[in-house]
Structure 1
């Protein structure tokens, strides 16, 4: 079973228009409204691929109720921890130049809210299950709240994948997750190291089992105690890249759920890259072009990197 945790979910609003001009009035060509937040996107992609998956996290207010209603139309099971305040909204404006994002901060939470969330996630998780914790944390989150959740799940025998950023990358690494998934800028900011392989190895030294670094059009870098591997996508013109990293995490979760760990994860990098690219081809995050995914995965090659890199 795969569980996802989205500490700071969002109602995603996506506007598509020809050209965004700051300071001008625009008429959108298309508007979509979807349940969002990185963990929810991961869950939706996994469900689309036929995996049994549930999601949880903090939810509040009428916006949270609307998000829950929208997600009820999918096969994703829901188990939310309710808090005071309104679930946030995010706005993505997609034009010929790419995607522009505006993210609200989310409702404030307290340590006791994190304790309730931890109990809820642990109650539905069994030893050997995969738990994906993904995305930003809401205001009021303490330095130990996220690492404590990860540590509790690891101690219970779960395989934990975390996609986070900032100082939390370092503290969560020490909690012993199976995989950490920063992008290259997040890794650089957290470790202070320009070389992504060196930065990933710093997270391994702190306690992570493996590190997957997303690098946009340059593909993904996997670093474990056994070595480092790189996989690159085919060039893709246009599209919406906002859900690409979440699709990569979904493929990673499926790989871990199949029993892959350590160096064996390198064999799944074509799936990670292809699913990420297939997400770019869709107008909103949380969806993938399954035909493109099947086509792309056969063309992607994994390259081992020299140990001295």
Structure 2
């Protein structure tokens, strides 16, 4: 049995580290980095470092899609992608003076026939899956509620779904009859789901997680950045406190956290254990310059410092 990760709008992530970034002139980069990207593929890389059995799937097209396949194969990550006619996108990050400027292509437009073909591929993969992890945005051409179709497929196989997305597709999923097992929004995304302007403190956030819209979702992990997380599990609410760390590159830390949650669910670990695992992996990723990489030598030290305490209702 295995974990299946879904990335419907992957990319080649190109990082240009520059000592200085000047507008309206030439900037030369000595050490560009190009990797298979997209939130689900970042999750896949961390799961692979944990030696979890997994297969990555999603949509790929053109020469850039072939690059992603080669990149994953070189890393030893198993994949089965569905082919599309249009080219997979690039996403560029310009790293300068401790800042990051991103240029994100919107990506290809997919056809209904291409989405149907993906359904066939996922249906086969779910025969061997025990957890389904869906991450990131939908490509143009996919309906807003496309992830609901995947939730239905997983429900038929009694497979829990970890869904990490935002906006209209997340709202459609939490309103669906077959809800995801776990979602990982931030406080702003929770506010957006509930149609309120903002959530300003933990009490408001706790009450929001107990709202009618979100009450039936088994597990909700709300990232609070350096303040840890607030977790709803059934009728209980937990606060997760994490140690202060030196951050080198926070990009991909959310995906690393998702990988920890998925790993814990795959191994049927107690919630408090796999939430700690998830927080550790997020912190380890933030300490590395490379997105989607963790130094597991520091795992136990961080794990011991994380505190999970139940919050009174």
TM-score (norm 2): 0.90
Q: Which ranges in structure 2 are unaligned for 5 or more consecutive residues?
A: none
CA distance in 1, matches of 2:103, 2:186: 19
Tell me whether 1:177 sits opposite 2:183 in the alignment.
no
For 1:295, the equivalent position in structure 2 comes to: 301
Offset from partner CA, 1:161-189 (integer Å, 9 cap, x none): 10000022222122321101122222222
For 1:259, the equivalent position in structure 2 comes to: 268
Query: What's the C-alpha RMSD, in Å, of the aligned pairs?
Result: 1.9
Offset from partner CA, 1:179-210 (integer Å, 9 cap, x none): 011222222222224233333334533x4221
The alpha carbon displacement at 1:19 in A equals 4.2
Tell me whether 1:162 sits opposite 2:163 in the alignment.
yes
Which residues in structure 2 correspond to 1:275-294 (within 5 Å)? 275-294=281-300
Secondary structure in structure 2 of the residue aligned to 1:123: helix
Q: How many residue pairs were aligned?
A: 303
Q: Check the 8 A contact 2:13/2:92 in 1, yes or no.
A: yes
Give the direction of change, closer, same or farther, for the CA distance of 1:176–1:93 in structure 2 (3 Å limit). Answer: same
CA distance in 2, matches of 1:61, 1:122: 24
Give the direction of change, closer, same or farther, for the CA distance of 1:199–1:59 in structure 2 (3 Å limit). Answer: farther
CA distance in 1, matches of 2:23, 2:206: 38
The alpha carbon displacement at 1:138 in A equals 0.6
Secondary structure in structure 2 of the residue aligned to 1:167: helix
Offset from partner CA, 1:240-264 (integer Å, 9 cap, x none): 111100000000001110114xxx3
Q: Check the 8 A contact 1:218/1:232 in 2, yes or no.
A: yes
Give the direction of change, closer, same or farther, for the CA distance of 1:271–1:148 in structure 2 (3 Å limit). Answer: same
Among candidates 214, 236, 240, match of residue 204 of structure 1: 214
Q: Check the 8 A contact 1:47/1:76 in 2, yes or no.
A: yes
Secondary structure in structure 2 of the residue aligned to 1:5: strand
For 2:80, the equivalent position in structure 1 comes to: 79
The alpha carbon displacement at 1:127 in A equals 7.1
TM-score (norm 1): 0.91
For 1:131, the equivalent position in structure 2 comes to: 132
The alpha carbon displacement at 1:20 in A equals 4.0
CA distance in 1, matches of 2:27, 2:245: 27
Q: Check the 8 A contact 1:7/1:57 in 2, yes or no.
A: yes
